[in-house]
Amino acid sequence: MRHVYRDAYFTHPHYAQNDLYTGGPRLTWIDSLSAYYPGLLVLAGELDEAVTAHLLYTALWSRYGALPERWDATTGAIHGGLRWWGGRPEFIESTWYLYHATKDPWYLHIGEMALRDIKRRCYTRCGWAGLQDVRTGEQTDRMESFFLGETAKYMYLLFDPDHPLNTIDAPWVFTTEGHPLIIPKANRTSTKQHHNRKGTQMTTVLKVQAEQCPIPPALLPLTVSSTAARSDVFHAASLARLHLMPIGNKPGAPSLDWASDHPSLTMLGPESPTNFTFYPWTLPLNLIPSNGYSTKLSNKPTFDLTFPTTAGTGLEIGTLQKIDGGVLVNSISGLRFGMVLESPAPEEHEYRIYTLGNFALGRDEHIALSRDTLSQINPTDPHFTRMRDVEAMDLIIDVPHPEEPVVEALAYNNTALTDHVFDFSLDIDLDALDATSSPGDMVLDSLPKALFADVHRLAEQLDGLVGVLPDADSIDDALRDAAKQLRSKSSAALPSSSGASPRQKKGLQRFTTPAMLPIGPGAAPLPAAIDSSPDPRSLSTGNLPYTTILIIDSDLCDTSPIPLDLVTTHTILIIRRGG
């Protein structure tokens, strides 16, 4: 049924005609026979879907005082002149099933509406006639056998809750002519006899699992009918065009047909402030919610993808070729693809091709385009140019177990210390500086201990002092040596697989995660050396080719460049994404 089902994007859910082989939509009419399907849904346990589907047939009966043989959901009119109602029972039967599944008084008033309309329009001196035209009330000189055999029977059972057929606790069904058929006890279980190799007879009893009907919808506070309080109850009225019918002496839509003898035309029953009538038109005031509301109608998002006509070609015979499971497109010149948003979609914003030109496709049909078909597209068109995807990669990382010791890395963060901490002065004996063999140590010993909390920034500050004093080569050499020592010490503290202890190697876990490379100005592809290196998946843990990683907690937009010695001593640099 997923092929014939039209969801809420078609104003209100209903079922229409589809191609038997492809599942593609073909016709938009519904018939009076399909009014039984809500009752079948009740028997299958699909109670909510049954309630929703039954609303449209109720609205159509409210409009015509019966159900026409065929009604078109697209035009809102009777389809093909099939305007008769021969007393069919399907709508009454579904109403009876739904009432016993929900105990909602809404369905009793639907039965009352149908009973009053049938008595008013179909009763004759010698029986019950069918309607030749549901619009005018013209009768046919004929009474079908199923009217008394089914229609009248279901109507009677609807209003007699104590009838044995409504209270019997036994498996039974109605035949096609409305005769109750109780399933014999002997047929409620199935037995099969098998013989093993030794010839011993074995009997297996297949038990039938009893299905349970879902509980009816819960009532909203201060309401009597859960169906009348639904927020989509007027969606079905909108699809049936009830709001376009006349109210009292006010004219309705000139192109709309309805029952000219409809009781609501004389303003019987509660008056709707905006519509032709509440439906069913027998609905009492106490079932209408005082503060009820209707949700907004849904619009199915669609768009067309049209290809331009190629010079010298057009939509020719053989452009579309039917194949197993779909359609083969031999030319896209002038072809229009109709796209529709699936509901529900497996992925968000997923569109499906539902038409090729004026040809409707089934939900499971596929579109195939050959390489020659795609060659008709301009090769310089960026929307249809095949490009190698070099933006994705698999990132393989060896990570120590949480219980293993992990060396904390020093972060490159130029905001770790406030600026006033770096307001310092150097008090160095120049004579002692010239005599020492390690001038960098002498500079570091003279600095306040608080500065070493951010060694990267301290090294930058020392580099900035180089050349400040004229003719002070010894001081400049000492400053450079001190900055170099700071950076080498911070690099030694960074974690890497090559410097990990044996215990860390034993406790490594390997993770593989997809990663996206940056694009846009300044982005570059991965170096070719990565593709030529051994497959890292074949390497044991702790032996990946890239071992020294520097994590920089900055996007480098507002800081000075990374010191050259850090770049040369680390194979991978991790920085924050800019922007």
Spatial distance between the Cα atoms of 450 and 318, rounded to a whole number of angstroms: 82
What would the two tokens of residue 120 be?
Answer: 């008013």
pLDDT score, position 255:
57
Can you name the residues that pair with 329 across neighbouring β-strands? 320, 369
**Of residues 99, 110, 130, the one with CA closest to residue 216:** 99
Kind of pairing, strands 127-128 and 131-133?
Answer: unpaired
Spatial distance between the Cα atoms of 52 and 14, rounded to a whole number of angstroms: 8
Kind of pairing, strands 5-6 and 14-15?
Answer: antiparallel
Distances in Å between the Cα of 237 and the Cα atoms of 54, 111, 539 are: 12, 18, 68
First to last CA, the chain: 50
Spatial distance between the Cα atoms of 48 and 195, rounded to a whole number of angstroms: 46
**Of residues 94, 90, 96, 88, the one with CA closest to residue 156:** 96
What would the two tokens of residue 351 be?
Answer: 């569109």
Q: What is the pTM of this model?
A: 0.58
Distances in Å between the Cα of 460 and the Cα atoms of 447, 451, 454 are: 14, 12, 10
Query: Residue 203 in 3-state DSSP?
Result: strand
pLDDT score, position 194:
44
Query: Residue 441 in 3-state DSSP?
Result: helix
Spatial distance between the Cα atoms of 275 and 246, rounded to a whole number of angstroms: 9
CA angle centred on 347, ends 342 and 351, rounded to 5° = 35
Spatial distance between the Cα atoms of 371 and 373, rounded to a whole number of angstroms: 5
Distances in Å between the Cα of 227 and the Cα atoms of 47, 106, 176 are: 12, 7, 29
Spatial distance between the Cα atoms of 345 and 9, rounded to a whole number of angstroms: 13
pLDDT tens for the chain, 579 residues long, are: 677 777 777 788 888 887 777 777 778 899 999 999 999 999 888 999 999 999 999 999 998 999 999 999 888 889 888 999 999 999 999 999 999 999 999 999 999 999 999 999 999 988 999 999 999 999 999 999 999 999 999 999 999 999 999 988 888 888 888 888 888 877 765 444 444 444 444 443 434 445 567 788 777 776 788 888 888 888 888 888 888 877 655 555 555 666 776 665 554 556 666 656 678 888 887 887 777 778 888 777 788 888 877 666 555 667 788 888 888 888 888 888 888 887 655 556 678 888 888 788 888 888 888 777 777 777 666 666 555 555 677 888 888 766 544 433 333 343 333 444 445 566 667 777 777 777 778 888 777 766 676 677 777 777 777 766 666 677 778 888 888 887 776 555 544 444 444 344 557 888 888 777 777 666 777 776 666 667 777 788 878 888 778 887 776 766 667 777 777 778 787 777 665
Spatial distance between the Cα atoms of 305 and 337, rounded to a whole number of angstroms: 5
> Domains of the chain: which residue ranges?
1-299, 302-384
Kind of pairing, strands 25-27 and 17-18?
Answer: antiparallel
**Contact predicate 391/376, CB 8 Å:** no
What would the two tokens of residue 258 be?
Answer: 């309805």
Name the packing angle between helices 105-122 and 47-64 (round to 10°). 30
Eight-class DSSP state of 275? S
Q: Any known ligand binding at 22?
A: no
